[in-house]
C-alpha cells in the first residue's frame, strides 16, 4: 500500500498549504487516511488568478501539444492503475474491481478528449456577397470551474478536466470533501505529464460554501461544470446568474427499469444487478424504480432475491465482497428512513433492510409492492435497495416511468422490437439502456433531461461545452 503523497492545494503548478486542514477517512473502518489542506476563499481566488493567467497562453497552444500531454496523462493513469484503485477503494469505499474499472474508464475519457483536441473544426460558409467571406471559429470558453462528486471521484474529475484542457481552457477543480485525495493524485500525474502550471488547479475544502462563492461570483470564470444533486445544482445555477456563466450540470436521477411480460427475466435480473448494486447503489444512473408487469413480477422478485442474497457487504479491498460501505452515516440514515417508510405503508420486504453494523455497510435489500405515494418513489435512492412496482399496460408503465422531475437514465426489457423502440423513444431521459444496463462508453455522451441537468459530458462531442462559436466576416 503506497503512502499518500499529495495533501496540499495545487495552485499554478505548486503544492501549497492553507490555513487549516481536514481529515479524510476510510468509510469502512473510519480510520484517518490523511489530513488535507482546507482551501479558503483566498485560496480559490489565487487559483482563479493562476488559471486566468495561464489561459492566455494555453488557449493559443497547438492542438498537437494538448493531445500529447493528455495522452501522456492517460498513460500515467493506466500505469498507476493499481495504486489509484487502492486509494479509491480506501477513500470512497468502492469494491476493488469496480475501482479498477473506474480508473481505466477515466483514462479512456482522457484519451477520447485528447483525440478530439485535434478535431476542433470551424466552418467556411457559402458566400452571399462577393466582397465578404464568412467563417465560424471555435475557441476555448475560458476559465472553467469544475466541482466533482464523491461517488465517481476519478471518472468525474477526468472527464471534466481532460475535456476542458483539450479545448484550450484552464481549470479550477474543487473535488468533493469526501474524496479529495484521488483528485490530488490525478492532478500530480497531470503535472508529471508536463501540463503547464496554472492549467489545472485543485482546491480541496471541507466547507464548500466559501470556495463555491468565489467560483460562481468571479467574472473571470466563464463556465461552471458541476456533478451532484439537483438541489445543489439549482443553487449553483442561481449563484452564476449575475455573471451569466455557461453551465454544464449533471444532476440527480430517478431511473425507471421497465420489465415487460415478454422480457427474458434472467437477462433482466442479471442486468438489474449491475444497474442497482454497482458502487453499492450510489450511482446517479442506477435503476431506482423497477416497473415490472404483473404477470412476471413474482419471477422477477425471485430472480433478484436469489442473486442479491449472494452479495457480501464489507471492506471493498477484501476478496469476495460485492458491496462496499456507504459514504457516511447520513447516507445510511437516509436509506433506513426510506425503507422503513415503504414497509410501514405496505411494501413487502424480501431481503435485507438493515445495515450490517460494520463499516457503514448496508445489506442488499429487495422490496416489492412499492407504490408511487411512498417516499422512496420520489427520492433518489443512493444505496443497494431494489424497489419493485407493478404495472398492467404499456401506457401505465410509460406514465409511471415519466412521473418524475428527473430524466437522466432509463432501462427497458422486452422481447418485442417494436415495443423496445417505442418505449425507448417515449422515455423522458437522456440515456436509455434497451435490453442492457451497459450504457457507458467513451464515445457516448453522458447527461440528462428535465431536472437532471443540462449539457453533456464525454462522447464524440466531449469538447462542445467548453467551446464557443465566433463569427468572422472578412471584407475583401
Compute how many other C-beta atoms are within 10 angstroms of the C-beta atom of residue 441. Answer: 13
Compute how many other C-beta atoms are within 10 angstroms of the C-beta atom of residue 178. Answer: 18
- Indicate which residues carry an active-site annotation: 250
Q: What are the two backbone dihedrals, phi and then psi, of residue 98, each rounded to the nearest 5 degrees? A: -70, -35
SS3 call for 257? strand
Question: CA–CA separation, 327 vs 177, rounded Å?
Answer: 11
Give Cα separations from 295 to 134, 260, 392, 396 (angstroms): 62, 9, 8, 14
Question: CA–CA separation, 346 vs 308, rounded Å?
Answer: 22
pLDDT of the residue at 359: 74
Nine cell digits for residue 308: 442479491
- Grid-cell match 449491475, residue found: 274
pLDDT of the residue at 470: 97
DSSP conformation class of 4: P
Domain boundaries, the chain: 9-251+451-475, 255-434
User: What is 9-251+451-475's CATH superfamily?
Assistant: Aldehyde Dehydrogenase; Chain A, domain 1 (3.40.605.10)
Alpha-carbon dihedral sign for residues 41, 43, 44, 48? positive
- Burial (Cβ within 10 Å: 0-12, 13-18, ≥19) of residue 196: middle
Alpha-carbon dihedral sign for residues 29, 284, 154, 270? positive
pLDDT of the residue at 169: 98
Helix (H) or strand (E) holding 366: strand 365-368
Question: CA–CA separation, 270 vs 438, rounded Å?
Answer: 11
Kindly give the confidence (pLDDT) of every residue in the chain, 476 residues in length, as a single tens digit, with 9 standing for 90 and above.
Answer: 567 889 999 999 999 999 999 999 999 999 999 999 999 999 999 999 999 999 999 999 999 999 999 999 999 999 999 999 999 999 999 999 999 999 999 999 999 999 999 999 999 999 888 999 999 999 999 999 999 999 999 999 999 999 999 999 999 999 999 999 999 999 999 999 999 999 999 999 999 999 999 999 999 999 999 999 999 999 999 999 999 999 999 999 999 999 999 999 999 999 999 999 999 999 999 999 999 999 999 999 999 999 999 999 999 999 999 999 999 999 999 999 999 999 999 999 999 987 656 779 999 999 999 999 999 998 899 999 999 999 999 999 999 999 999 999 999 999 999 999 999 999 999 999 999 999 998 899 999 999 999 999 999 999 999 999 999 999 99
The structure's pTM equals: 0.96
pLDDT of the residue at 455: 94
pLDDT of the residue at 357: 60
pLDDT of the residue at 212: 97
Alpha-carbon dihedral sign for residues 248, 254, 260, 266? positive
Nine cell digits for residue 362: 448496508
Buried/exposed code over 395-409 (b: 16+ C-beta within 10 A; e: otherwise): eebbebbeebebbbb
pLDDT of the residue at 5: 87
Helix (H) or strand (E) holding 57: helix 41-58
* Contact between 113 and 160 (Cβ < 8 Å): no
* Nearest partner of 474 among 49, 226, 204, 131, judged by Cα: 131
Laid out side by side, the sheet with 467-475 consists of: 123-124, 132-140, 467-475
User: What is 255-434's CATH superfamily?
Assistant: Aldehyde Dehydrogenase; Chain A, domain 2 (3.40.309.10)
pLDDT of the residue at 93: 96
SS3 call for 220? coil
Amino acid at each position: 500500500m503506497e503512502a499518500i503523497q499529495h495533501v496540499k492545494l495545487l495552485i499554478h503548478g505548486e503544492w501549497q498549504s492553507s490555513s487549516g486542514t481536514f481529515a479524510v477517512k476510510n468509510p469502512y473502518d473510519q480510520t484517518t487516511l490523511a489530513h488535507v489542506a482546507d482551501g479558503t476563499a483566498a485560496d480559490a481566488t489565487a487559483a482563479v488568478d493562476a488559471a486566468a493567467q495561464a489561459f492566455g497562453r494555453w488557449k493559443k497552444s497547438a492542438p498537437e501539444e494538448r493531445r500529447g500531454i493528455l495522452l501522456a496523462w492517460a498513460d500515467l493513469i493506466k500505469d498507476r492503475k493499481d495504486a489509484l484503485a487502492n486509494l479509491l477503494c480506501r477513500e470512497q469505499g468502492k469494491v476493488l474491481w469496480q475501482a479498477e474499472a473506474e480508473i481505466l474508464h477515466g483514462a479512456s475519457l482522457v484519451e477520447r478528449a485528447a483525440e478530439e483536441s485535434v478535431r476542433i473544426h470551424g466552418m467556411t460558409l457559402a458566400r452571399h456577397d462577393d466582397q465578404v467571406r464568412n467563417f465560424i471559429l471555435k475557441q476555448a470558453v475560458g476559465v472553467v470551474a469544475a466541482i466533482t462528486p464523491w461517488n465517481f471521484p476519478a471518472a468525474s474529475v477526468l472527464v471534466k478536466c481532460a475535456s476542458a484542457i483539450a479545448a484550450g481552457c484552464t481549470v479550477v477543480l474543487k473535488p468533493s470533501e469526501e474524496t479529495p485525495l484521488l483528485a490530488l493524485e490525478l492532478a500530480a500525474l497531470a503535472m508529471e505529464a508536463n501540463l503547464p502550471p496554472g492549467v489545472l488547479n485543485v482546491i480541496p475544502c471541507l466547507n464548500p460554501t466559501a470556495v463555491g462563492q468565489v467560483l460562481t461570483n468571479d467574472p473571470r470564470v466563464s463556465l461552471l461544470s458541476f456533478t451532484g444533486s439537483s438541489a445543489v445544482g439549482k443553487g449553483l445555477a442561481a449563484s452564476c446568474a449575475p455573471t451569466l456563466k455557461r453551465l454544464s450540470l449533471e444532476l440527480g436521477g430517478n431511473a425507471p427499469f421497465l420489465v415487460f411480460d415478454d422480457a427474458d427475466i434472467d437477462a433482466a435480473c442479471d442486468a438489474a444487478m449491475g444497474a442497482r448494486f454497482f458502487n453499492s447503489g450510489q450511482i446517479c444512473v442506477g435503476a431506482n424504480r423497477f416497473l415490472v408487469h404483473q404477470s412476471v413480477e413474482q419471477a422477477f422478485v425471485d430472480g433478484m432475491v436469489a442473486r442479491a442474497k449472494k452479495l457480501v457487504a464489507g471492506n471493498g479491498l477484501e476478496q469476495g465482497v460485492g458491496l462496499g460501505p456507504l459514504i457516511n452515516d447520513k447516507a445510511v440514515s437516509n436509506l433506513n428512513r426510506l425503507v422503513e417508510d415503504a414497509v410501514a405503508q405496505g411494501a413487502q420486504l424480501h431481503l435485507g433492510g438493515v445495515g450490517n453494523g460494520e463499516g457503514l455497510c448496508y445489506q442488499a435489500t429487495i422490496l416489492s409492492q412499492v407504490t408511487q405515494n411512498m417516499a422512496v418513489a420520489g427520492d433518489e435512492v443512493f444505496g443497494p435497495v431494489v424497489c419493485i412496482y407493478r404495472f398492467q399496460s404499456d401506457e401505465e408503465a410509460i406514465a409511471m416511468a415519466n412521473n418524475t422531475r428527473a430524466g437522466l437514465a432509463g432501462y427497458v426489457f422486452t422481447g418485442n422490437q417494436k415495443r423496445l423502440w417505442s418505449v425507448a423513444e417515449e422515455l423522458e431521459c437522456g440515456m436509455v439502456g434497451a435490453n442492457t444496463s451497459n450504457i457507458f462508453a467513451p464515445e457516448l455522451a453522458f447527461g440528462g433531461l428535465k431536472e437532471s441537468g443540462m449539457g453533456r459530458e464525454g462522447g464524440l462531442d466531449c469538447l462542445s461545452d467548453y467551446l464557443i462559436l465566433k463569427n468572422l466576416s472578412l471584407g475583401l
